A = this chain, B = another copy of it.
Amino acid sequence: MTDLDAPTTAELIAKRLRYDILSGKLKPLQPLRQDEIAAQMGVSKIPTREALVQLKTEGLVVIHQNRGAVVAEFSASEVAEVYEMRAALETLAIRRAIPNMTKSDFVRAEGLIEIMDDTHDALNWSELNWEFHAMLYRPANMPRLLEHIRMLHSNVARYVVHYLTSVDYHAEAQRQHRLILQLCRTGNIAQATPQLEAHLTQAGKKIAQFLKKDEG
């Protein structure tokens, strides 16, 4: 008997490529050649192809017929679109979650905020930021919803990181995080929901605007 659920080769490749894309090591429009990736990982093309198909449906990769895959590029308006979708889904999630939140949820969320206070690496901060948001949504017990939100988050994470390395947004974001968490603590759905929506809408607009400069 071997490891009960050893990740499949395709999963390993997908994980690695995903990380390299999110961290910015692989840049938008950069080609992802099957042979090259396979050789690098010391495996064949077959699992590599499956990994690329997976990442395609996650929106991180674009595959062109017989022309191979490239890292997906999001335009400013597409990033804005993703943030609108996130706002719609994440407000739903927090609405359903608040009634089920427990004391330990609040403690752990507060803990994350404090760690983020001392985290200045943009990539780490982005990951902690997702963990914080996920914590607010998990009590909703809506796993499919959470998975969709996670995918949307991962779609724009690269651009968030890029933005954070240029602009100091930490203090502002942290202030909003603390406010939203406080509203959750008091069970105030009526105010927590629009605050979260504003938090996301504002971030989306800032990042889209930031990208537009590059595009122009």
Contacts and interface: CB of A to CB of B under 8 A. Distances in A.
Interface of A: 5, 8, 10, 46, 49-50, 53-54, 57-59, 65, 78, 81-82, 84-85, 88-89, 91-92, 96, 142, 144-145, 148
B81 A145 contact: yes
B145 A84 contact: yes
A50 to B, nearest CB: 5
A35 B148 CA distance: 31
Given A46-B46, A65-B8, A145 B54 contact: no
Nearest to A50: B53
Which residue, of A88, A92, A145, has the highest number of chain B Cβ atoms within 10 A?
A88
Given A5-B65, A78-B144, A148-B148, 11 more contacts: A46-B46, A50-B53, A59-B144, A81-B142, A81-B145, A84-B92, A84-B145, A85-B145, A88-B89, A88-B91, A89-B89
Contacts of A82: 144
A78 B143 CA distance: 9
A67 B82 CA distance: 35
How many copies of this protein are present in the complex?
2
Nearest 10 Cβ contacts at the A-B interface: A57-B57, A88-B88, A88-B92, A53-B53, A81-B142, A50-B53, A81-B144, A5-B65, A85-B145, A88-B89
B59 A57 contact: no
A58 B59 contact: no
24 contacts: A5-B65, A8-B65, A10-B53, A46-B46, A50-B50, A50-B53, A53-B53, A57-B57, A57-B58, A78-B144, A81-B142, A81-B144, A81-B145, A82-B144, A84-B92, A84-B96, A84-B142, A84-B145, A85-B89, A85-B148, A88-B88, A88-B89, A88-B92, A148-B148
